[in-house]
């Protein structure tokens, strides 16, 4: 097989595979291989946290919470700085009025 790629991406399950869906007793086209549904409400937090999707959601929520908290801290420091500068401006205006 001639290709411009350095790797052979062809797939032939028949050459090196023992898998044959027609012979498998567990394979039925109409059945589902998924586990039966579980009532999530009945699981403990530790069991729920084992799920990688739940872990990703939790981590994303933690990151978002951290960013919000950083934003709140920045907002508070800017408010304090603004208050300090306003007080300084008022003091300078008072000094200017007194000197006129």
Give residue 55's domain range. 49-100
Distance CA 37, CA 41 (A): 12
- Copy the structure tokens of residue 81: 């700085």
Which residues, in sequence order, are CB contacts of 3 under 8 Å at separation 6+? Answer: 9
DSSP 2-50: --SSSS-----HHHH----TTT-TT--TTS--SPPP--GGGS-HHHHTT
Q: Is residue 71, in this structure, part of any structural domain at all?
A: yes
- Copy the structure tokens of residue 61: 């929520």
- Please report, in angstroms and rounded to a whole number, the separation of the first and last CA atoms in the chain: 95
Q: Is residue 17, in this structure, part of any structural domain at all?
A: no
Domains in the chain, number? 1
Q: What is the pLDDT along the chain (100 residues), one digit of tens a residue?
A: 444 545 554 545 445 555 555 554 554 555 556 777 778 888 999 999 999 999 999 999 999 999 999 999 999 999 999 999 999 999 999 999 998 8
pTM above 0.85, yes or no: no
Q: Is residue 35, in this structure, part of any structural domain at all?
A: no
Q: Is residue 68, in this structure, part of any structural domain at all?
A: yes
Q: Is residue 18, in this structure, part of any structural domain at all?
A: no
């Amino acid at each position: 097989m001639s290709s411009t790629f350095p790797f052979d991406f062809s797939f032939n399950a028949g050459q090196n595979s023992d898998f044959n869906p027609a012979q498998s007793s567990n394979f039925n086209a109409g059945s589902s291989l998924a586990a039966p549904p579980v009532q999530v409400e009945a699981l403990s937090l530790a069991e729920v946290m084992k799920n990688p999707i739940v872990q990703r959601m939790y981590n994303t929520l933690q990151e978002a919470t951290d960013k919000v908290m950083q934003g709140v801290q920045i907002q508070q420091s800017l408010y304090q700085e603004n208050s300090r500068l306003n007080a300084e401006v008022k003091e300078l205006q008072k000094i200017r009025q007194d000197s006129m």
